[in-house]
Structures are given as structure tokens and as C-alpha cells.
Homo-oligomer: A and B are copies of this chain.
Amino acid sequence: MTAPDINSPAEQERYERGLEVLATVDGGSAPAVMDSLADVAPALAHHIVAFGFGDIYARPGLDPKQRQLVTLGILTALGGCEPQLEVHLKTALNVGLTPTEIVESLTHAAGYCGFPRALNAVTVAKKVFAERDLLPIAT
């Protein structure tokens, strides 16, 4: 019993479904990180898309804004996930969370995982907001 070939038609179909979900939340371009995995960890890239987006993100039960709030909480708490936090902060904006809601989420996080983790997340948010000319945010 071995895992399905990620290049099989069935897996490619799962992958395509994930890509479509990803496109609806990341603004139409698959994150560059996926491409960068092609020569080193193609199976990981495949499953992030096929499983992470196609199987999980696309599930009913939570809308994309809710999913991003949970995700921001997780990535802030984990720490050391600045590259992923940057991707998900952009996604958060793409799906309609306002900069104010995003910053409020990170400020809220301080009580649960401490000021240092919250500060690190806000530093990434500032970079993302600056790139989109969203500073200063309304408070």
C-alpha cells in the first residue's frame, strides 16, 4: 500500500481544486513559495495546495475571514513563522479583513501569548500594510 503518485490524474485533479481555492483568497496568483518548492519538496507543495486549500480551506462552516482570524492567532502564537504570517496577512486583506481588524487581532493576542509574539506579528503587518499604502491604520 503506497501513497498515490502526486502526478496521477486523481491527485492532479485534487491539486487543481486546491489551486482554485487558493486563487480566490490570494488574489489570483499562487504564492511564490509553492514554486520555490518544486525542486526540493514537490510533495509538500502538492499537499499544501491539495489538502490545505482543496480539502480544508474550502470546507463550509467558516468563511474566509473567520479562517484568517484563526490562522493569524495560530501563526502569532507559534512564533518564527514570519514568512507564513506575511502570506496570511495579505490573504487576510484579500478576503476582506480590514487593517484595523487585523491589528486588533494581534493586539488581542498579546494577552494570550505575550507581548513579544504580538510585537513580532505587528512588525510583519506593518511591512504588509506599508506595501499596500495602508498606514496609518484607523484605530
Binding site for B on A (CB under 8 A): 1-4, 10, 17, 20-21, 24, 33, 36-44, 47-48, 51-52, 54-62, 66-67, 69-81, 83-84, 100-101, 103-120, 122-123, 125-126, 129, 135-137, 139
Contact = CB atoms under 8 A, between A and B. Distances in A.
A84 B81 CA distance: 16
A107 B44 contact: yes
Contact of A69 (B42, B60, B66, B104): B66
Given A61-B101, A83-B120, A116-B84, A108 B41 contact: no
A51 B49 CA distance: 12
Nearest to A22: B1
A76 B79 contact: no
A113 to B, nearest CB: 4
A121 B117 CA distance: 16
Q: List the number of copies, as a whole number.
A: 6
A125 B39 CA distance: 11
Contacts of A60: 2-3
A59 B114 contact: no
B107 A43 contact: yes
Contacts of A73: 69-74, 77
A3 B39 CA distance: 28
Nearest to A122: B41
